[in-house]
Amino acid sequence: MSESKVVELQIIESVGVITINNPPVNALTLEVREQLKQILMEVRQAKDLRVLVITGAGSKCFVAGADIKDFPKQMESGPRENATIYKEMFAYLEEAPIPVIAALNGLALGGGCELALACDLRIADEKVKLGLPEVTLGLIPGLGGTQRLARLIGQSKAKELLFTGTVITAEEALKIGLVNQVVPLGNALEEALKLAEKLAKGAGVAMAYAKQLVNKGTELPLQEALEMEMQHVEKIFRTEDLQEGLDAFINKRPPVFKNR
């Protein structure tokens, strides 16, 4: 019997949409893990892709974490090896030279929240709930959650959420900077695609440099980060995109960036 399709990739012009479709809660099972890995390999090869959107199927869940009943199988190779596979995929999303948007259409818990944290931007349906409730099972997040959460919202608030396992609403997440935008019920993917379309028309090299500088620069002393920024400024002055942007501005026309 052929393997069911639980992760799907659709490419709409220069925007890729990954949908995790593993009912009832889009849990991170072995099937999801292997198919997501394969799809991200396809994304790597798609040279014309300018933006990536990740969402969950249905209206209940983005990804409601791991399937606890699937844990024994996932742990056969040991927690480090199992987590490393996910962490490599999440690191790719974080380091990819294109913007990655999470369209949160429902619960984003545990590994699902960690997946969202690995994305650059998060757009949440107003009924979404997010959290890292691993502590309630005697666990800790192991797919980058403790580190990305603290870097995103600050140590104190991250510790509060990690210690208590509290699941918060979309509005609460917006207040603490965990999501970028809250939209009406059922509109997360639509709004994410609108933003993706806008970004896909933007200066791809500039966005790639900005993403890299934010990700890497915050880990460096300020003077080192400023020097890295200047190195990227020098490089971007040699790009076709900059010349196109300047010409478009002078001639009062929309720019047509080529991502080079």
Mean per-residue pLDDT, 9-34: 93
Side-chain half-sphere exposure of 248, counting CA atoms within 13 A: 13
Is the overall model pTM greater than 0.75, yes or no? yes
Question: pLDDT tens, 122-165?
Answer: 999 999 999 999 999 898 999 999 999 999 999 999 999 999 99
Contact (Cβ atoms closer than 8 angstroms) between residue 28 and residue 111: yes
Q: 120-156 burial, b for 16+ CB within 10 Å, e for fewer?
A: bbbbbbebbbbbbbbeeeeeebbbbbbebbbeebeee
Q: Which residue has the higher pLDDT, 4 or 192?
A: 192
Residues identified as active-site: 114, 134
Contact (Cβ atoms closer than 8 angstroms) between residue 26 and residue 20: yes
